[in-house]
Amino acid sequence: MAPSPFVVAIDGPAGSGKSTIARLLARKIGASYLDTGALYRAIAFYLDGRSVPPEEGEPLRCALAELTVSLRGERVFLGDEDVTDRIRTPRVDSIVSRYAALGPVRESLLDLQRSQSRLGPLVADGRDMGTVVFPEADVKIFLSASPEERARRRWRELVDRGETLTCEEVLFQVIRRDRIDSDRTLAPLREAEGAFLVDTTDLSVEEVLSHLCGLMKLDLSGRLGDV
């Protein structure tokens, strides 16, 4: 029997740096990158655009039955439409957690997420990678940072895209999303058993990446070779 593909599962709250780190780590070790947050954003964008409320029921089931979401490299598509750039807005920021808390939404993406690991080594980031989607991942990492630092990071991203929210408004959104993600009944945000916990508040991207590579070498006893 062929060995199972190598998987690194990275979880953490919004603004902890997980997407940036996961993407860079994937490149460094020659793995594919799975941005699960983009998938949930695409679904939220799709449902919100069709005025489907974030609640279980027939409207949600019908809308999901008509939905085709896919990944092409690091681009996200709804049908044949590339929505990668359109899902990174304050509007989607404010609604994605409520849609992501719904069972039918999470179930609709589970097979798609897991199927990515069959294509080869994978680095996946999200909020339930190590607890639900890839509980047998070779390496589990939980990134954190203070709410204030995470808000500053998200605010800078929004300013760079031309948005006009204040840092205080973004901090309110970050705290609100943390509460929704952590308190939901289905797949709440939490540290997976056996995960490395890394606080990125005072670390640069390069420092976080170097630290994770060191942790992985210790954990895997050289399985990855020189990372």
Domain limits of the chain?
7-214
* Residues 45-93 pLDDT 10s: 999 999 999 999 999 999 999 999 988 888 999 999 999 999 998 899 8
In order along the chain (227 residues), what is the average pLDDT of each group of 10 residues?
Answer: 77 93 93 92 96 96 93 89 93 92 92 88 94 94 96 92 90 92 88 95 95 82 49
Exposed / middle / buried, residue 91 (Cβ in 10 Å: 0-12, 13-18, 19+): exposed
Q: What is the number of alpha carbons within 13 Å of residue 52 lying toward its C-beta?
A: 25
Q: Which residues are annotated as a binding site?
A: 12-20
d(CA 81, CA 70): 10
DSSP state, residue 121 = -
Q: Which residues are annotated as a binding site for ATP?
A: 12-20
The predicted structure's pLDDT at residue 3: 56
| Contact assessment for residue 145 and residue 200, using Cβ atoms and an 8 Å cutoff | yes
Which is it for the CA torsion 179, 182, 188, 190, positive or negative?
positive
Exposed / middle / buried, residue 172 (Cβ in 10 Å: 0-12, 13-18, 19+): middle
The predicted structure's pLDDT at residue 219: 67
CATH architecture of the domain formed by 7-214: 3-Layer(aba) Sandwich (3.40)
The predicted structure's pLDDT at residue 225: 46
Q: What does the DSSP assignment read for 167-192? A: HHHHHHHHHHHHHHHHH-SSS---PP
